[in-house]
Structure 1
């Protein structure tokens, strides 16, 4: 059985005119290199915990310039299991919560648009109450242009703080944010998101707060479920052009991370990636080569 959901960012359509209709992802994704990235359940591990040596032994290596993925890539599933089970930094474990999900990530571009494709097998549902009844799955991607401190080491963790909503005892109205973040200085993350319920697409950013819309770079976000496999494809203008849109250039690399909200999850109860690099015709963890 195949279920398909799609969304077109209205602002992008207006900006592109007929160009939105002509954007086309690679006809044969099997010819595009894929990188398998494990997203894992992070428990209560805000950036304050990550950087505190008495809580996290890796804080010392982080100060020396080591990346989070450099230390932990081989143990992500095990880390997720410890936190999902409640044996480490998770005060309210969810029985049956998926500890980790392997995701195949592919990227390409055609000189005008960047195409990002994610595919993964759906884990067994936990059977817990639905936090987000409207959306079985959400997929969010963040890009950063090497201006946020430590973003090249910690990925999206620079937006994750202990005082943000769904963290224990936190203000339920406070969103993700970057310490000292603002659009004018370039200290922010570009954010795009797809939601399965109505096929919604969002194009925003995270600076001093998270803003879900206002960008003009996202042309479309399409997702479908074939059997037990989800596939989501984002089409995004390289040039961006809207509030919080990072202009992507060939020969450059950007910091990249993503999160899957599986099984009707919301807030911090997602599976997240470590920080990686995305290159536009440039050497990186994930390379978007011109097709």
Structure 2
């Protein structure tokens, strides 16, 4: 298996994406670094913050910020080490899961872009670049591999396969309490893998989720509900659209080691009534045809030497399926054998369009550590973006998904501030 996974999209960026500096040539040794400890949160939802189970609930209700009580890397490490174990906030502990990770953060900007560089050590001795597959069982193609919090993995019925991920939440001060509570403002009971998880019937009975055509419950802001503590309630679409127009949403940028890393991009989204993707089309799509239930694409054997892989080949090479690089339309008559596997997602830089395609990335895994640079244009004016500007100060929250896990199984930070040429917890320096 390759021990060094490197994706450089600089040549592909060019003037089209308005990159002023070459991100690969920034002298990061001259940029100040800050270490932020991220910890495992378990099921500590927004509702839990104000419940009797939380000792600091009265302070939260009084408007105090989380960091007014929790301040210091040692405390974050203690919290994570406690919450990752079986207990009131972790009903399904993952064996061997670490409770915290140190994230090294640097930031810079020029006349066109902001650049944020992140480094963190992975728990495993290999990069988490594998994701779910479609596996042929001799008759049908079914999903193979699930994140470790899923019951089928816990019971040993499916292997734990899920990509590493790095997320940045960003607010420009327009979302009430995000600067105090950070990502906990978006994390609620009822969501996937959280306490009192939704049922299909409850989603179908929810007017808001039906209006926005959603089939489950994901991150949302309390202002999108008539009862901020109950996801089953919901405001009207007119009210949601007005909140969005007023900028009362949180930016969510996610770098994905399998679904965006291969094409040098970071996907772009926002949180309001749900965890939404930006307008346009992002860089990955489902590879299973909804009508035929067959894969849409397979590997081009003339380019990579195979049309599919098997489970024993996992983590022994890069297994990205990229439409314009190594994929061809699926051939049902290609002599498929039981155990053949094709990626569940296909990536494409050429197909990525609109606001969803704003963000670029450079990423490398080497000697047990990911290094990832987020490249985001300044001054975006899309209605689903927060515009970064020189002199601006922003609330930010960071998350890392590691060890084949998703949803609440990530590591998270308390709220920090990012300043572009301004005083903040993390200060982006101007490139010359």
Name the TM-score, length of structure 2 as normaliser: 0.61
* Contact kept? 1:138, 1:260, Cα under 8 Å: yes
In structure 1, the partner of 2:266 is: 201
Q: CA 1:155/1:217 → structure 2, altered by over 3 Å: closer, same or farther? A: farther
In structure 1, the partner of 2:90 is: 90
* Contact kept? 1:40, 1:273, Cα under 8 Å: yes
In structure 2, the partner of 1:266 is: 406
Q: Is 1:131 matched up with 2:129? A: no
* Contact kept? 1:108, 1:115, Cα under 8 Å: yes
In structure 1, the partner of 2:373 is: 233
Q: Is 1:179 matched up with 2:222? A: yes
What's the secondary structure of 1:30's corresponding residue?
Answer: helix
Cα root mean square deviation, aligned: 2.4
What's the secondary structure of 1:154's corresponding residue?
Answer: helix
CA distance in 2, matches of 1:134, 1:222: 23
* Contact kept? 2:417, 2:425, Cα under 8 Å: yes
What's the secondary structure of 1:72's corresponding residue?
Answer: coil
CA distance in 1, matches of 2:388, 2:26: 22
Q: CA 1:186/1:19 → structure 2, altered by over 3 Å: closer, same or farther? A: closer
* Contact kept? 1:5, 1:196, Cα under 8 Å: no
1:242 deviates by 2.6
Q: Counterparts in 2 of 1:117-128, with a 5 A limit?
A: 117-124=117-124
Q: Is 1:255 matched up with 2:395? A: yes
* Contact kept? 1:105, 1:116, Cα under 8 Å: yes
Gaps of 5+ in 1: none
* Contact kept? 1:216, 1:245, Cα under 8 Å: no
In structure 2, the partner of 1:148 is: 175
Q: 1:69 aligns with which of 60, 67, 70?
A: 67
1:135 deviates by 4.1
1:166-189 Cα distance to aligned partner (Å, 9 max, x none): 213312711111122431121111
What's the secondary structure of 2:222's corresponding residue?
Answer: coil
Q: Is 1:45 matched up with 2:72? A: no
1:196-235 Cα distance to aligned partner (Å, 9 max, x none): 1141631111111111333357331222101111111100
1:103 deviates by 0.6
* Contact kept? 1:115, 1:235, Cα under 8 Å: yes
CA distance in 2, matches of 1:260, 1:84: 15
Name the TM-score, length of structure 1 as normaliser: 0.89
What's the secondary structure of 1:156's corresponding residue?
Answer: helix
Count of equivalent residues: 282
CA distance in 2, matches of 1:67, 1:153: 4
In structure 2, the partner of 1:188 is: 249
Q: Is 1:58 matched up with 2:69? A: no
In structure 1, the partner of 2:333 is: none
Q: Counterparts in 2 of 1:147-166, with a 5 A limit?
A: 147-166=174-193
Q: Is 1:27 matched up with 2:70? A: no
1:57-98 Cα distance to aligned partner (Å, 9 max, x none): 112222344321232132011111111012341111111111
